Structure 1
Amino acid sequence: MATQQLGPEDEIEVLEQVEFSDSDDDDINYAAVQLSDSEDDDSDEDLVSALTSLQKSKRGSPAAHGVPMTAEPRSGTEVRPAVVDDFIRNFLIKVGMERTLDCFNTEWYELQSKGKLGEEYTNPVPDIYLRNQDLDEQVVTMRKEMEKMKAIAEKARGTWDNFRKQRDFHRMHHKRVVQEKDKLTLDLKHLHKHYLSYEPTLKELQAKYQVAMKEKMLMRLERDRMRARVEEVEAKIKVLMDSKVHATPPAATKKKPRKGGDSTLPKDDEVINPFADLDFDAPRVESFQLKKAFRAHLNSVAGVAFHPRKPVLATVSDDETWKIWSVPNGDAVMSGEGHKDWVSGVDFHPAGTHLATCSGDSTVKLWDFSRASCAHTFTDHTQSVWDVSYHHTGDFLVSCSMDHTARLWDTQSLRCRQTFRGHVDSVNSVCWQPFTNNVCTGSGDKTVSLWDSRSGLCIQTFYGHLNACNCVCMNLRGDTIASCDADGVVKLWDVRMVAELGSMSGSPHPINCVDFDRSGTRVAAACDDSVVRIFDTQEKKVVSELRGHENAVQTVKFDPEDKRLVSGSSDCTFRIWA
């Protein structure tokens, strides 16, 4: 058997080459061969598979590369894909179409020998299972991608819906803004025209204002000149009076007072407190709210006082003035100037005919409403005066000062009738025990004292504050004193038992002023942290906090009927709570 080796690209060893021609077709006899099913399937493929395995074993064996073989190679089989003609032959054999097989072989080899068959007819037939597997994988992959695309499409649809809604909203908003802009433009044009109509009036008022300011300055200059002349005349009169007093016997001076006869303090058994047996309902301070706020002065509001009969309110300020306002409208009724320093305290005469004020210029002034002028000035204090308070008869006035004293003034004879000495620091607050002749004072020496105005002696002193006492007040029955200090503590004192009833604290900031209501069960406190706190004297706790001031609250006062509360602050305002 002759062998012929093909090129390396073919890698097939040919055992025998046989040529067929058209003339030989009649000389060849084809005999039918009986094949089993298994042999029919693999008859044509076994030879090719065997040759392929042989070639691979030769190329991959160690002997082929010059390496001696030390072990026997392992045998293996490989299924080679069937080519087109083998596939057709196998199919015809399976079906049993022998004559068709003979015709196919004749024509196939004839066409192959002539080179009329293309490469697409000689390539292996794809394995249908592998192809199906590939197609299944492609289908799965395409389904997954389809699901992803579907999710992306749904998300895009939702995003598009949101964008469309936002677009509609912004379009509507833009239309509304354009409408508002047009309306505002029209309003501005109307206002501009309206302003132009008022411009001549404004210029005229401005000219009048300048003229009035000039006149005011001239009047102030004239007032200062007159004040200097009055002081000079008063000094001369005082010198003349002193010389006259020294020339007159002492007995004569006692019999003839300067302005009028001395007033007499009533006896204790002659006066009965009308509120001693009365019970008042506590005001509903929990529901108090800010009703009105008034910018009353150019500086801090230091004190307030209610008129005993009319709905008016007096305020004093660090701007050296006092003013009277209607309540609750807040209309200015009257104002007064005359003090040369801040005004700290104010009180109405029980009859409502006079007003008493005290100041940092060490004076106490009495103002007469009928004459609209200062009726008298008390100048015996040597330092700033903090507080004043009228006696229930209206014939006496008590004041306290930084000179460590409190003084009793006679409003009839216009002189100092008594000086209360005993405190070792500034006396910051003073008040009368209702319908008695006793005076209560609070001092920077951390004590609260009760004085007999007839003898000028201290009746009792209450100890307990740990810091300077800023204010004292008494309830209408006259049996309880409320005092506050710089530590933010309010203390209650029993006058009859001479004992402390309790202590209340609502803030670590100083408390500047306290005031009782008519029932004596509520105490309002003006605190340095801009809050007005109201305490329950029975439960010793805060029941209400009134917030609204922008600076420290300096003073607080209940009106005579407990319908409202007024507070004054360092923010230059007083506020009405109801």
Structure 2
Amino acid sequence: MAAQHGMPNLALRVLEETLGVSLPAAGDTADAVAAEGAYYLEQVTITETPEDDYGYEEIPDDNFSIPEGEEDLAKAIQMVQEQATDTSILEQKTILPSKHAVSEVIEDFLCNFLIKMGMTRTLDCFQSEWYELIQKGVIELRNIENVPDVYTQNMVLENENKNLKKELKHYKQAADKAREDLLKTQKERDFHRMHHKRIVQEKNKLVNDLKGLRLHYASYEPTIRVLHEKHQTLLKEKMLTSLQRDRAFGKISGLEETLQSLKKGCTYIVPEIRVGDICERENVSEGPTQKCLREARERNKCKTRMKDNTKDSKFPVDIQPDPSLYLCKENLCPSKFDYKLSNIFRLHELPVSCIALHPRKEILVSCGEDRLWKLVGLPKGTVLLTGCGHTDWLSGCCFHPSGNKLATSSGDTTVKLWDLSKGDCILTFEGHNHAVWSCTWHSCGDFVASSSLDTTSKIWDVNSERCRCTLYGHTDSVNSIEFFPFSNTLLTGSADKSLSVWDARTGKCEQSLYGHMHSVNDATFTPRGHMIASCDACGVTKLWDFRKLLPVVSIDIGPSPGNEVNFDSTGRVLAQASNNGVIHLLDLKSGEIHKLMGHESEAHTVVFSHDGESLFSGGSDGTVLTWC
């Protein structure tokens, strides 16, 4: 108990030195208190450690040194001036607070010191005895001075030291982080340098290859020039030959008219003389020239007679489809995506270029690059009819709305019409300068439209057997053409990366659609005609709103080119034949894409059955695949 209520001798000495007064000893205080009968204290002797036992380390002053005698006086004076300058700078930086600014009452100083050191029991003893002495009047507050500046200055410096240590720790962390960032940046720099060097090497290699190719192509220029001259010469010879042929036909027609006039002028009947009759009478075979002349004359007569008896067809004004057909299909026929390969028909020796379904019967027609088209019965794949007559590969085909005729387009620059009941060619349209890529029937069945490599499209009149209109506007090959259902509107897709909408009656372009970055290979309408789908040479498929003539969505299924697109009967599923042999099925509601893998090589064409239960695709290996 005495240790708890007694004042330590160290604290008493600090108070005596600070106040300049002598405080009563613990024993005297105890006797005085005992005399009054208020307190009972015991004297306890506390051994204190002398301050002289603390070992101080002497710090040598190395900042100032006098140069040896070998140095001159000017150098020594300069050094003294530098030392004085450094001292003034240090004094300016180190500003000690004034006495009044940092001074503190002795009572507060001791309390703060004891709290800081964690001496709570000593603090309680000090406070109880301190206030007891003040109340008794032993100590007067006005005689108490403040703590000297050195103590408060030490506390301030200690706090600053702690703050500086914290800042140093933060700076070290920031330096470590900066070092890591620097290493990371150096690694990235080295990586980019290597990448740059590699790109420079590849660029130099490409430049060298380009120079070699230029030299290689330059060696072909003389040969190309010679071939071009030969081509021009052959064209001139062809023109001269055609003039001579026309002149010969004119002479023959003149001779026939003279012969007929002689028949009418004579009183007796002169039998008609023909080259064929003479050959038959004399049992002598016709020569090739005579036979060609006779066939050309007969063909000319037939065409002249037919053109005299026929007139140009008129474009229908009001063609209204039955909307119940489309509504029924859209509501009753569910969308199907789980097609599986069910059959393979090997129909052609060369790639299949186009497939078309009969509008009413279970019949399919396929065109190939072997110059043949074949009529196939479904589902067994029996070949019912084979048509041959084109002199080059076939590019497209389309059934007449009634289903009794077929139109085919070919690389021989012609469009042919076929009678499916006999399998014979009934009409040939000639007029394009280059290969014909596609053909389509008008809903009335009196017109056929075709698109060609010569950047034009043509509308042919079946009744008058002539070209009614040529559509000019595209700057590159016109790859696809299709009539809008039950209307006089045409849609074309071209290699100039655009789609165009035409009025077939006037031959004018009503609107052009831009958005593709590559050649447009195919474009088609939905069964209802409210949307357009198109695909290009980089595999991008676009959907367009035909009423607003604006793009709706763009789907990248590349990089393989898309060769053909077609909608099912409901208009909710779009199929695309891709150059990598995959048939992509796009769900227009959910946006999901399904893949059909079955072709060993490129897939050129795809078409849905009318009920949507089957899918047919043609590939470059000459086969037609059936998916169910």
TM over 0.5: yes
Corresponding position of 2:89: none
Is residue 575 of structure 1 aligned with residue 625 of structure 2?
Answer: yes
Alignment: residue pair count: 342
Q: Is 1:407 paired with 2:458?
A: yes
1:557 has 2:557 as partner: no
**TM-superposed deviation, 1:487:** 0.7
The corresponding residue for 2:566 is 515
Identify if the C-alpha distance between structure 1 residues 303 and 450 changes in structure 2 by more than 3 Å, giving closer, same or farther: same
User: Which has the larger helix fraction?
Assistant: 2
Structure 2 CA distance, aligned partners of 1:283 and 1:270?
26
Per the normalisation by structure 1, the TM-score is 0.56
Residue aligning to 2:226: none
Does the 8 Å contact 2:446/2:461 carry over to 1?
yes
In the TM superposition, 1:498-509 aligns within 5 A as 498-509=549-560
Counterparts of residues 210-289 of structure 1 (less than 5 Å): 232-233=293-294, 235-236=296-297, 257-258=307-308, 260-268=310-318, 275=325, 277-278=327-328, 279-281=330-332, 283-289=334-340
Displacement of 1:274 after TM fit? 5.5
Alignment of 1:400-479 (within 5 A): 400-479=451-530
Residue 566 (structure 1) aligns with:
616
Cα gap change, 1:388/1:274 in structure 2, threshold over 3 Å: closer, same or farther? Answer: farther
* 1:152-171: CA deviation from partner (whole Å, max 9, x where unpaired): xxxxxxxxxxxxxxxxxxxx
Deviation at 1:362, TM superposition (A): 0.3
Question: 2:115 maps to which residue?
Answer: none
Partner SS, residue 285 of structure 1: coil
2:598 maps to: 548
Confirm whether residue 320 of structure 1 aligns to residue 371 of structure 2: yes
Q: Quote the offset at 1:407 in angstroms.
A: 0.9
User: What is the Cα deviation at residue 433 of structure 1?
Assistant: 0.7
Equivalent-residue separation in structure 1 for 2:549 and 2:402 (angstroms): 32
Q: Compare CA radii of gyration and give the structure with the larger one.
A: 1
For structure 1, the residue ranges without an aligned partner over 5 or more in a row are 1-224, 246-255
Pair 1:458–1:530, CA change in 2 (3 A): same
Identity across matched positions, percent? 39
Provide Cα deviations, 1:431-451, integer angstroms capped at 9, x if missing partner. 111111101010000001111
Shift of 1:477: 0.9
* 1:115-164 Cα shifts (integer Å, max 9, x gaps): xxxxxxxxxxxxxxxxxxxxxxxxxxxxxxxxxxxxxxxxxxxxxxxxxx
State the superposition RMSD in angstroms: 2.5
Does residue 1:374 correspond to 2:420, yes or no?
A: no
Is it true that 1:388 corresponds to 2:439 in the alignment? Answer: yes
Provide the C-alpha distance between the structure 2 equivalents of 1:502 and 1:517, rounded to a whole number of angstroms: 18
Structure 1 segment 312-351 matched on structure 2, within 5 A: 312-351=363-402
CA contact (8 A) 2:319 2:486 kept: no
- Distance of 2:449 and 2:588 partners within structure 1: 27
* Offset at residue 508 of structure 1 (A): 1.2
8 A contact 1:489–1:506 mirrored in 2: yes
Match among 380, 403, 411 for residue 360 of structure 1: 411
CA offsets 1:43-85 (integer angstroms, 9 cap, x no match) = xxxxxxxxxxxxxxxxxxxxxxxxxxxxxxxxxxxxxxxxxxx
Structure-2 separation of matches of 1:476 and 1:375: 30
Output the CA distance in 2 between the equivalents of 1:574 and 1:428.
Answer: 22
Provide the C-alpha distance between the structure 2 equivalents of 1:229 and 1:389, rounded to a whole number of angstroms. Answer: 38
Deviations 1:416-473 (A, max 9, x none): 1111111110000011111111010100000011110001111111100000000011
> What is the DSSP-based 3-state SS (H/G/I as helix, E as strand, rest coil) of the residue aligned with 2:426?
strand
- List alignment gaps of at least 5 residues for structure 2: 1-285
C-alpha distance 283-528 of structure 1, shift in aligned 2 (>3 A):
farther
User: 1:435 is matched by which residue type in structure 2?
Assistant: F
Residues 493-537 of structure 1: per-residue CA shift (max 9 Å, x gap): 111111001111223100000001111111100000011111112
Measured in 2, the distance between the counterparts of 1:229 and 1:481 equals 54
The 3 A distance-change label for structure 1 pair 239 and 308 is closer
Question: Over residues 274-323 of structure 1, what are the superposed CA-to-partner deviations in whole Å (9 max), with x where a residue is unaligned?
Answer: 55655345654321000100111010000000001110100000000000
| Cα distance between partner residues in 1 of 2:519 and 2:287 | 41
Q: Counterparts of 1:227 and 1:402 in 2: how far apart (Å)?
A: 34
Aligned equivalent of 1:294: 345
The answer on whether the counterparts of 1:366 and 1:377 sit within 8 Å (CA) in structure 2 is yes
Partner SS, residue 367 of structure 1 = strand
Q: For the Cα contact (< 8 Å) 1:259–1:412, is it kept in 2?
A: no
Q: Deviations over 1:248-289 (max 9, x none)?
A: xxxxxxxx9456222211114666655565534565432100
Cα pair distance change 1:570/1:412, threshold 3 Å: same
Q: 1:275 to 1:408 in 2, by over 3 A?
A: farther
**Secondary structure of residue in 2 paired with 1:335:** strand
Match for residue 534 of structure 1 among 585, 590, 593: 585
Partner Cα separation in structure 2 for residue 471 and residue 226 of structure 1: 48
8 A contact 1:273–1:434 mirrored in 2 = no
Give distance in 2, aligned partners of 1:500 and 1:439: 18
**TM-score normalized by the length of structure 2:** 0.52
Deviations 1:467-486 (A, max 9, x none): 00000110111111100000
Residue in structure 2 matched with residue 219 of structure 1 by the alignment: none
Match of 1:304 in 2: 355
Shift of 1:241: 9.6
Task: Provide closer, same or farther for how the CA distance between residues 420 and 258 of structure 1 changes in structure 2, counting only shifts above 3 A.
Answer: farther
- Between the aligned partners of 2:326 and 2:612, the Cα distance in structure 1 is 18
Task: Describe how 1:91-130 pairs up with structure 2 within 5 A.
Answer: none
Contact 2:497 2:517 in 1 (8 A): yes
The one-letter amino acid paired with 2:390 is: H
* Contact persistence 1:282–1:521 (CA under 8 A): no
SS at match of 1:441: strand
- Residue 337 of structure 2 aligns to a residue whose secondary structure is helix
